[in-house]
Amino acid sequence: MTADLAALVCAESPSGVPEALARCRAEVAAVGERLLGAAPTEHGEHLRWGPERPKVLVLGHYDTVWPVGTLARKPFAVDGHRATGPGCFDMKAGLVQAFHALSLVRASGGLDGVGLLVTSDEETGSATSRDLIEETARGATAVLVAEPSAGGALKTSRKGLARYEMRITGRAAHTGLDPEKGVNAAVELAHQILAVAGQAAPERGTTVTPSVVSAGTTVNTVPDAARLAVDVRAFRRAELERVHHWLVHRRPVLPGARLEVEAGPRRGPLQRSASFGLFQRAVTLAVELGLPPLREAAVGGGSDGNLTAALGVPTLDGLGAVGGGAHSEDEWVDLRFMADRAALLAALVARLR
């Protein structure tokens, strides 16, 4: 399993870089073919093993947030029980565990009715894979998501998320000769940033985060354009709708400024009601396998499991790696748990199929 993890981590795969994704996809396909005894069906940049409509679907992704070149300064390494390297925790170790889990199921009774879907764009919102995920999962008994655990805990709740881009149009003018003739898009942007941040509701777990901002072109020109990216996350669908309605009906503050808001990728929340039955099965199986007791967690990050839960399909997330540091420089995987978590996933699949 460590060797397979090294092979996948050493194939850099940032979302949206076709050449890098192709190289990693070849590695993923090779590991899968060796362990599952079959080549995947390719759907563009996405890979699927098993039937088009499986009874049990295991779900994961091979893209990462790390740009090409990260591996040169942070190569894959093993120090005792810790493995490090870009994308090791989120979520290449989870893919390795999924392949080895399904190889156990294959050896003990076959993979009839079992599917594995590995996508290439989860980190950027699943724009090209969403339809495939929903088509594959619709009607399934269960979806088991091999995303990383939360400090070892399985994820029974995930916030839904929505992303927006706010575009502000002002009017340019010379800052020295006639600044009063301008409409400063940067000042309008400042008003909007504060207003957007004010839509958060911490008491309900709702975050509304102004993130990427830009304005202006030269230091002696009143900015005539500005942009703001907004990230919204909430445990309740009603909260996502509240913020959505506020954003799309937002008006400018400065006279003469214009404002457009474009909605981007959206995922509804993964609610505990969609996952708790599967979590209880996992708890029972962990006891039967002699594994440490399982814990559950609610987390802010979304995954493709949000999409399958929204279809009404029971979905359990966080069945991947134990470790930490997702999307951070200190990302790591605890190798001691990989075999145990693969065995747990195999037992779940075998029990559910």
Distance CA 60, CA 21 (A): 15
The structural domains of the chain, ordered by start, are: 2-159+269-352 (3.40.630.10), 161-267 (3.30.70.360)
This model's pTM is above 0.85: yes
- Taking only the tens of pLDDT, the chain with its 353 residues reads 999 999 999 999 999 999 999 999 999 999 999 999 999 999 999 999 999 999 999 999 999 999 999 999 999 999 999 999 999 999 999 999 999 999 999 999 999 999 999 999 999 999 999 999 999 999 999 999 999 999 999 999 999 999 999 999 999 999 999 999 999 999 999 999 999 999 999 999 999 999 999 999 999 999 999 999 999 999 999 999 999 999 999 999 999 999 999 999 899 999 999 999 999 999 999 999 999 999 999 999 999 999 999 999 999 999 999 999 999 999 999 999 999 999 999 999 999 99
**Partners of 59 in the β-ladder:** 117, 145
Q: Is the dihedral of CA 253, 186, 225, 264 positive or negative?
A: negative
What's the pLDDT score for residue 101?
A: 98
Structure tokens at 143: 């979806």
Residue 59 in contact with residue 97, Cβ under 8 Å?
Answer: no
Q: Tell me whether the omega of the peptide bond preceding residue 91 falls within 30 degrees of 0, making it cis.
A: yes
Beta strands (DSSP E) in the chain are 41-43, 46-49, 56-61, 77-79, 82-84, 114-119, 142-145, 154-158, 160-169, 207-215, 225-234, 258-267, 296-299, 315-316, 323-324, 332-334
Residue 306 in contact with residue 234, Cβ under 8 Å?
Answer: no
Structure tokens at 326: 């997702």
